[in-house]
Chains A and B, each alone.
Chain A
């Protein structure tokens, strides 16, 4: 009987898995680029939840595809978050040593709506961040992929770009967290996920804070979901299967590409007689969950980028990302002298047993684009 990978993984508990897998043995890469490669463990979420992979086998897999580093999401990957045992922490360092990986970035969130009847104050939000700073430092991370605190926009008209909006409370939180970041020597790379608009007062205000304070502990983590030229195909296929109409989907995609914006697109789709599913896809919970920035607009931020989320949805057989202009993005980073990590973050099909293959294809694409052989 053929032994499936799932059955194989289940025959070997925790440590035995890592012992059984060989050490990464990629040949020393000839590199011109200074950029480094990483995978975020978040990518493996469904394989971990469904039991086919463990934390240890994820670390082994990331090393096996030749990465330099690995990114963790504290609340997902750290056992007994936010207070892992010293045994767990020692195990983490022994895995890094065994597989010759570096900690690339640690992911933080701010649950501004922590209580049902009120928002966190900015001081409380900074206290939560301090827990993560301490833990990141303890686990050997220097870079944070930090979520911008998701408070309401000061200007209601800006809410369409939430949570990437100017907000007095968010700015206060960051200012209160800044001395703590310095204390634990971790660098807050504010995540620029879609629907971030790179040409915006939101970005200008963070840049102004960096320049005014001269801090080395505040910067950016661009996420390539902000550079989606055309939306992923797997979601569209699902919608068409569930009764969305090709003509209306085509209209929504072209409206997105022409930067019509969610309000006008929704209004047009309603006029066309769009059903609930089509109307939803036309708005912020649908296609405008992505944003379509020009890679050139990233240039001015490159000197302040501590980490990059190399988001991807689908790698085609000719080794291209279907939705995102990787060649342009990597050129902008290279020209700007970026020398930190590109960390693969997969958000395509969540089907079990497909994730490692997708990550490997993505790493192969980035290596080929960067000329890493």
Chain B
């Protein structure tokens, strides 16, 4: 099914000291407005059934990288409307070339909603090139 939340663009492994040490994936929110970083309670990621711990997932807004726990400390940082957040996920060896089933869950505190947090789940099948 067509989806726009998890981007093909930017899906790639990254290396540390010449070895693949993880991968990144870009995510656009489905909420109708951009939000301040402290409103984000968590990003969760599952790839081909493997879940990653909170401290294995960092997030990047434009050029600024944060651990998830640190998002609370940046009241002026924003996940802008219609802009992707880059999730930087630690995984020694990275992901193999070829298809991967990705699931991203985002939890956000939207103060006026009857249920808090709002939980949004995005799924996509992406292809890793290298």
Contacts and interface: CB of A to CB of B under 8 A. Distances in A.
A139 to B, nearest CB: 16
A346 to B, nearest CB: 12
B56 to A, nearest CB: 20
Contact of A81 (B4, B78, B111, B115): B78
Interface string A23-39: 00000000000000000
Contact of B114 (A48, A51, A147, A284): A284
A348 interface: no
Contacts of A88: none
Interface in A100-117: 109-116
Nearest to B30: A49
Interface string B79-107: 01110000000000000000000000000
A150 interface: yes
Contacts of B39: 111, 113-114
B28 interface: yes
Mostly helix, strand, loop or mixed at chain A's interface? loop
Contacts of B41: 116
Nearest to A148: B112
Given A75-B81, A81-B80, A115 B33 contact: no
Given A49-B4, A73-B33, A76-B32, A112 B115 contact: no
B2 to A, nearest CB: 8
A76 B36 contact: no
B36 A111 contact: yes
Contact of B32 (A42, A81, A112, A116): A42
A162 interface: yes
Given A75-B33, A113-B116, A116-B38, A51 B4 contact: yes
Contacts of B38: 114-116
Contacts of A116: 38, 41, 72, 109
Interface in A73-126: 73, 75-77, 80-81, 109-116
Given A81-B78, A115-B38, A110 B33 contact: no
Interface range for A: 20 to 34
B35 interface: yes
Nearest to A73: B33
A109 B33 contact: yes
A285 B112 CA distance: 12
B62 to A, nearest CB: 10
Contact of B4 (A50, A76, A112, A284): A50
B112 A147 contact: yes
A75 B4 CA distance: 20
B38 to A, nearest CB: 6
A189 interface: no
Nearest to A83: B76
Interface string A200-231: 00000000000000000000000000000000
Given A114-B39, A115-B72, A150 B33 contact: no
A162 B114 contact: yes
A29 to B, nearest CB: 31
Interface string A120-147: 0000000000000000000000000001
A146 to B, nearest CB: 12
B34 interface: yes
A74 B56 CA distance: 33
A150 B4 contact: no
Contacts of A45: 32
Interface of A: 42, 45, 48-51, 73, 75-77, 80-81, 109-116, 147, 150, 162-163, 284-285, 289
16 contacts: A49-B4, A49-B82, A51-B4, A75-B33, A75-B34, A75-B81, A76-B34, A110-B111, A111-B36, A111-B39, A113-B111, A115-B38, A116-B38, A163-B112, A285-B114, A289-B114
